[in-house]
Amino acid sequence: MKKPLIVQKFGGTSVGSVENIQKVAKHIIEAKDDGNQVLVVVSAMAGETNRLVDLAQQIDSVPNARELDVLLSAGEQISMALLAMTLNKLGYAARSLTGGQAKIVTDEKHNNATIEDIDTQGIRTLLDQEQIVIVAGFQGVNRNGDITTLGRGGSDTTAVTLAGYLGARECQIFTDVDGIYTCDPKIVHQAKKLSTIDFLSMEEMAKRGAKVLHLPSVKYAQKHNVPLRVLSTFKNSSKGSFVTGQQAPDGICGIALQDEMQLIEIDSTLIASLLAQCHMLGIAIWNTIESKNTTQFVVKYADYIKLKLTLSEKEHTASLVNLITVVGSMKEVSEDKIRAILSENGVKIIFYTLNIRSFTVAIRPEEVDKVANILHDIYIDSAVVIER
């Protein structure tokens, strides 16, 4: 009988040093010794992608997108080779593959590509030969053979998509935290770990800035019903958090944070052409606020750098903001209550938006810790956290 397949993904902190890579190898060997086929996806070592981006920007503040992908793809290749060396030395046959060697085909969009297809025949052959297959995350090739990358956090999407194509029993995402929390525990010390969370709530958390999972990976897992678990590389006893279920129950599931955002105000008559420019550059608009003569919109700061030349004299004002979002059923959320409580605590809300699954406030970056703890206290600590 064919052995079940486990896909394991290890993030940058997990492979951030030779010592940590040896810890990663133990997780892989444990899964292999339990009678599974094992496919591993790795990120670049912690800080490596930022180092490579910095090198590129020393040459050009807005680097050529194709060449930037060629450069950034090197980070994951370092990790995969070191891990394969470690496993082979420990007596376990392992083979590393780049995105191109793994036959991961993407669209043409450099720096933020989407996986379109994976030819898994070569991977299946290696797995059937009892080899541990290690794939570089975050990358693929387009149909012209050019290297592409999937955007920050894209290794999650590589792992989940491979798990779906290969019919894995489970896709395990290993990080430096032991699961999915109701908020970033580094900011909200009372944040609670969720044993389970449904796909819809997890998607909204990821969409609103929670960095534990890459948004496209959650969407793919939901669409193809890929069993998804978030675990810690450094806590062997933890079962982590399981993402499952297609129905979102009532209640609040968490507080999501998004930093380094830029709020830009321009003349309303110019917004249509600017939105077209954003579409051409692949820049996501997070929020748009209309007023009488001007329009405000929010983009990531890195995208704002790309837009600066286009904005030129069109730009009225630009300022850094952070977004904090209450995620879950909005039945119990009162925008008047949130505004009143934050005002009482001396917090100025720059703007807010409300939809069926989230309430977002934009604030000054220096107020993030205070606001996150206030909202967590209101909607998490004083209520029952939703879990399936």
Domain architecture of the chain: domains with CATH? 5-176 (3.40.1160.10), 252-381 (3.30.2130.10)
Is 212 annotated in some ligand binding site? yes
Q: How far apart are CA 56 and CA 59, in angstroms?
A: 5
Is 211 annotated in some ligand binding site? yes
| Residue 156 in tokens | 């999650």
Strands 170-175, 228-232: parallel, antiparallel or unpaired by DSSP? Answer: parallel
Is 100 annotated in some ligand binding site? no
| Mean pLDDT in residue range 260-275 | 82
Is 9 annotated in some ligand binding site? yes
Is 243 annotated in some ligand binding site? no
pLDDT tier for residue 387 given thresholds of 50, 70 and 90: very low
| Mean pLDDT in residue range 289-298 | 79
Is 103 annotated in some ligand binding site? no
Residue 365 per-residue DSSP state: G
> What's the pLDDT tens digit per position in 206-264?
988 888 888 889 999 999 989 999 999 988 766 899 998 776 667 888 999 999 898 88
The predicted pLDDT at position 311 comes to 66
What is the sign, positive or negative, of the torsion defined by CA atoms of 202, 367, 46, 48? Answer: positive
Is 331 annotated in some ligand binding site? no
Strands 37-42, 132-136: parallel, antiparallel or unpaired by DSSP? Answer: parallel
Is 148 annotated in some ligand binding site? no
Residue 138 per-residue DSSP state: T
Helix (H, G, I), strand (E, B) or coil at 173: strand
Is 367 annotated in some ligand binding site? no
Is 328 annotated in some ligand binding site? no
Helices (H), the chain: 18-33, 48-59, 65-89, 121-128, 154-166, 199-207, 215-224, 271-281, 301-311, 335-344, 368-376
Is 10 annotated in some ligand binding site? yes
pLDDT tier for residue 382 given thresholds of 50, 70 and 90: low
pTM for the predicted model, two decimal places: 0.84
Helix, strand, coil in percent for the chain, rounding step 5: 40, 25, 35
Q: Which of 5-14, 50-59, 379-388 has the lowest mean pLDDT?
A: 379-388
* Average pLDDT over all residues of the chain: 89
